[in-house]
Structure 1
Amino acid sequence: MSNPNKQVPIRGLFIDGKEVPASQPELLDVLNPATGEMLAQISHATDADVDKAVKSSAKAFSSSEWSAMSNRTRAKLINKLADVFEANLEEIYTLETANNGRSLNETRAQVSRLPDFFRYNAGLAIARRDSVIPVDGNYLNYTLRTPIGVVGNSTPFNHPLMIMVKSLAPTLASGCTTVVKPSEYTPLTTLRLAELFVEAGLPPGVFNVITGLGPSTGKALAEHPGLAKWVLTGGTEAGRITGALAGSNFAHQTLELGGKTPVLVFDDFNVDQAVNYAAFGAFIGAGQTCICGSRQIVQAKIYDEFVEKLAAKAKSIRIGNPIDPTVQLGPVVSARQQQRVLKYIDIGLNEDKARLVAGGKVPTDASMKDGFFVEPTVFADVTRDMRIFQEEVFGPFVSVTKFTTEEEGLELANDSPFGLAGAIRTNDVTRAHRVAAKLKCGIVWVNDHHRLDPASPWGGIKDSGIGRECGTESFDQHFETKSVMIRLDDAPFDWYKDTASQPRLN
């Protein structure tokens, strides 16, 4: 429980290179999900605050300090930001773990990779080239790319820095500016990174941070006419709502939305290894990942052994305060999220009538009574018509479904409105390629899970969103492309005198 008598920091908005108060006094509590303790209070930005932040970023985008910066100078600055990030990792690990409840070891493994996103995009800033296009006739045709402008970015609670950095790195390296609205549950590391980057020399206004609730602050940012691009990582419904708002202003969009990742486990693969991957895919981050391996689809020959061993693995996972380096599973982010997971456990038991083989409860240990914990939960004998097979839970929750043939397995895997990621467990190389090509999703892992690289495009299809993060795909989406056509012939031109001899495509 939070202690009302304990002094906690009150955080303002970060606009124009400094922390400023919001235009209204309302504050939102930020809790440690492992203990219920209040970590800080944050400002609830109004429409006027959002407008101030967007205008600050627009001004910075147009300023000579930023817009006239050469690609090589910008790349040097982006590399410096990576170095500053890396120099402060220990502080950031601890703050992120306290704020979102992910175990310290998981946080360290993930966040330590993030400086490389800036270095990769700094390299793209130097390496970028515009095209010279061969066209019919005596013409020179080339393209000019210019940064699109202000990018609005709404980030979720599950990976506060990682998901923000996937957008921030190409935004800055391309010469755009940004206004970020972090989740109201997990804003603290985003605010700290903005401070560090300005101290490192990032011009004021290039990276602004506003805090507040999604239906108010987030809505005001998504629909702001000053945005050139809207980026959201969140639920599918939030994507539909904010995508329509941003679309009314014809803003570019990248939306990474919900997921219900199928994992096809074939009987030629080692069962123990498949179980280890299943636990990793399902329970990392307390299952609060859009690519959570939540649907294990297992071939009949190894199905019973797989279920037995996965249940045992889930029961062996050490749950507790994530700041303890021996803890393997922390809490979900909030009481609301805890109740959501418990609701789906009830659905699995009483509506779907699936077989619960592990977990399904809140831990009874007294040390966890004030946190938002749920045991790692495994349901077996799940069929495609069950809600727990079709609907995203976003917690430490996994279902296991049996299949016989490859065709049946693919049909089950693709039976979903989502299409973010999929995974395959097999030692058959030809099968791996064949099945990967037929999975309807944007990311496929073969004999792995949760693997991400700054150079590898990331995103989904169907209800899992549009656009791509990471790779050259993301970097290129931060530019407008202008085609320049130059006539290289001095021969006289008079369309109305000699029409027949002048073939044209206009």
Structure 2
Amino acid sequence: MNISAKAVAVEIHGNFVDGHEIEAGGGSMLDVHNPATGEVIAQIPNSSADDVDLAMRSARAAFESREWGGMDVRARARLVGRLADAFEANLEQLYRLETLNNGRPLNETRAQLSRLPDFFRYFAGLALARRDAVIPVEGSYLSYTLRTPIGIVANCTPFNHPLMILCKSLAAVLASGCVTVVKPSEYTPLTTLKLAQIFVEAGLPPGVFNVVNGLGQSAGKMLAEHSDINKLVLTGGTEAGRIAGAAAAKVFAHQTLELGGKTPVMVFDDFELDRAVNYAAFGAFIGAGQTCVCASRHLVQASIYDEFVAKLKAKTESIRIGNPFDPATQLGPVISARQRDRVLSYCAIGCADGARLVTGGAAARVTGHENGYFVQPTVFADVTSRMRIFQEEVFGPFTSVTPFKDEDDALRLANDSPFGLAAAIRTRDVARAHRIAARVKAGIVWINDHHRLDPASPWGGVGSSGVGREFGTESFDDHFSTKSVMVATHDQPFDWYRDTATQRRLN
């Protein structure tokens, strides 16, 4: 069924605190737009310090309660499994709400969100499999560790993948026994509010999952610098990460920051060209290019460079731009007029710096959606490493192509960036693929693929792309404090001050 977004009335939302939606006390309201039409579809509060503090108090009370904090590990794992089932039962509603709110084509949204329930099942499994260590030590002692949940996780999520990026953190939070206060992007709060409601209805105790709405520079900042947070999780721009990370460091909170990216894709001449072009289009334009792992720098061996550029031009111009609810649509709008203008400004920058505009470079017109924030998928060629479009994150349907001579040249270009979130390699030479994977500066490397993730595989970057890891045991373990316990198993008398001269060991 083709759904008309225009039929959706403007909804007024508050914050989600202590198990239900409440009116915020801040006073001012923010408009939430449908990026495909520019229409206002909802309003949310710009939360005040008092609103943030109320959510934090609710989270702390839940963490210390018998209902959640005192819950048996196996009971909690079973509950997280039921939350996954509830998520799955509501997928159709969540698909459509997320497409309405962030403009991704429905087919993309469905393909992404359908995997999310298994994030919770994976971390529930880790909770069941968790074992604390017994450590062999010198002497007649038993040494072991105890891990306890760290407490409140403050989570600031972005607009590009509202539910997916939330769930990367939320699944570990709930399975570990922590609690959270989430500040979703002011552009895309609707599915976060809906998921909180779904989870409470499925049995999650009140206060475990709270949501405060508002602008990043106000509500987000107040959350990151709150004196009672124990861990900060933020996905966003590098500068936002620096500011939020510095604030959280003042209270010595754990941090996981996934920040900017400028993913290099190294294409060698032994790889099938058409397949490389198809991966290039997917990596660059999925999600309208609004991903931190966007394939934004294609580095192509000189012997196939011209043919690659020609084929990528043809592939890019075949992509269907349109109404995100139309099953035929392959590319939706960017999130806002501001983001559209930013992407178009980089088109002008690329031309001014001497890069060759291969295709795109302008706003796209979609019949019936004239006020939407659509941008033509854009390809620049003959880009050098000194150009701004090679170095700076654009965050839109925008990619560049640069030739390289050999493996060392490809690596030099790939590593010529302050970012280090992801990288991709296209080659049939197995030894070369592993050599490059070891030397490229990135936290994630794809060989002959792109944009793949799994809850068991760690996700995160190096350099200006952030710190910490989501997914995997690395993420789960970072939600605990480790306590070391040392037990004397001998029965020998001890009096240091009587036998000081004969003692041979102090520690």
Residue pairs, 1:236-385, within 5 angstroms = 236-350=238-352, 352-385=353-386
Q: Name the SS for the 2:303 alignment partner.
A: helix
- Aligned partners of 1:182, 1:399: CA distance in 2, in Å? 31
Give 2:173's aligned residue.
Answer: 171
Q: Which amino acid aligns with 2:39?
A: E
Q: Which residue of 2 aligns with 1:103?
A: 105
Structure-2 separation of matches of 1:71 and 1:100: 36
Q: Equivalences for 1:435-446 in 2 at 5 Å?
A: 435-446=436-447
Alignment pair present for 1:430 and 2:439: no
2:490 corresponding residue in structure 1: 489
User: Deviations along 1:166-208, whole A, 9 cap, x unmatched?
Assistant: 0000000000000000000000000000000000000000000
Distance 1:39 1:365 in 2: 20
Whole-angstrom CA distance in 2 between matches of 1:501 and 1:271: 77
Q: Could you tell me how far 1:505 is from its partner in structure 2?
A: 6.2
SS of 2:88's partner is helix
* Distance in structure 1 (CA, Å) of the matches to 2:369 and 2:404: 38
Letter in 2 for 1:171: V
The answer as to whether partners of 2:365 and 2:374 remain within 8 angstroms in 1 is: no
The verdict on how the C-alpha distance between 1:74 and 1:43 changes in structure 2, with shifts beyond 3 A counting, is same
**C-alpha RMSD of matched pairs (Å):** 1.4
Q: Deviations along 1:243-301, whole A, 9 cap, x unmatched?
A: 00111011111000000000000110011000000000000000000000100000011
**1:78 to 2:80 alignment:** yes
Q: CA deviation at 1:499?
A: 3.8
Cα distance in 1, alignment partners of residues 505 and 101 from structure 2: 62
Aligned length: 503
Matched AA of 2:475: S
Query: What is the CA-CA distance between 1:495 and the residue it aligns to?
Result: 2.0
Structural mapping, 1:378-417, within 5 Å: 378-417=379-418
Please give the alpha-carbon distance, in whole angstroms, between the structure 2 residues aligned to 1:156 and 1:436. Answer: 28
Aligned letter for 1:11? H
Cα distance in 1 between the residues matched to 2:506 and 2:363: 68
SS in 1 for 2:358: strand
Aligned to 1:201: 203
Give the deviation of 1:488 after TM superposition.
1.1
Counterpart in 2 of 1:37?
39
Helix, strand or coil for the counterpart of 1:463? helix
Instruction: Give me the whole-angstrom Cα distance separating, in 2, the residues matched to 1:32 and 1:247.
Output: 36
Task: Please say which of residues 363-372 and 208-217 is displaced more in the overlay.
Answer: 363-372
Once residues 396 and 4 of structure 1 are traced to their aligned partners in structure 2, the CA distance between those partners, rounded to angstroms, is 25
Distance 1:215 1:496, change over 3 A: same
Residues 51-91 of structure 1, C-alpha deviation per residue, up to 9 Å, x if partnerless?
00001000000000001111110011000000000000000
Q: Which amino acid counterpart does residue 397 of structure 2 have in structure 1?
A: P
CA distance in 1, matches of 2:159, 2:8: 25
Question: Post-superposition shift, 1:305?
Answer: 0.4
Partner of 1:191: 193
Letter in 2 for 1:122: A
Partner of 2:224: 222
Q: TM-score, normalised by structure 1?
A: 0.98
Residue 451 of structure 1 is matched in structure 2 by: 452
SS of the residue aligned with 1:269? Answer: coil
The one of 146, 149, 152 equivalent to 1:147 is 149
Partner AA of 1:175 in structure 2: G
Does the CA contact (< 8 Å) of 2:9 and 2:41 recur in 1?
Answer: no
Distance 1:170 1:184 in 2: 24
Paired residue secondary structure (1:50): helix
Distance change in 2, residues 1:302/1:137 (3 Å):
same
Superposed displacement of residue 493, structure 1: 1.1
**CA distance in structure 1 between the aligned counterparts of 2:495 and 2:140, rounded to whole angstroms:** 17
SS of the aligned residue for 1:368 comes to coil
- The one-letter code of the counterpart of 2:343 is V
The whole-number CA distance in structure 2 between the counterparts of 1:8 and 1:435 is: 51
The structure 1 residue matched to 2:118, chosen from 92, 116, 119, is 116
Q: Which runs of 5+ in 1 are unaligned?
A: none
Q: Which amino acid aligns with 2:409?
A: E
Compute the displacement of 1:367 (Å): 2.8
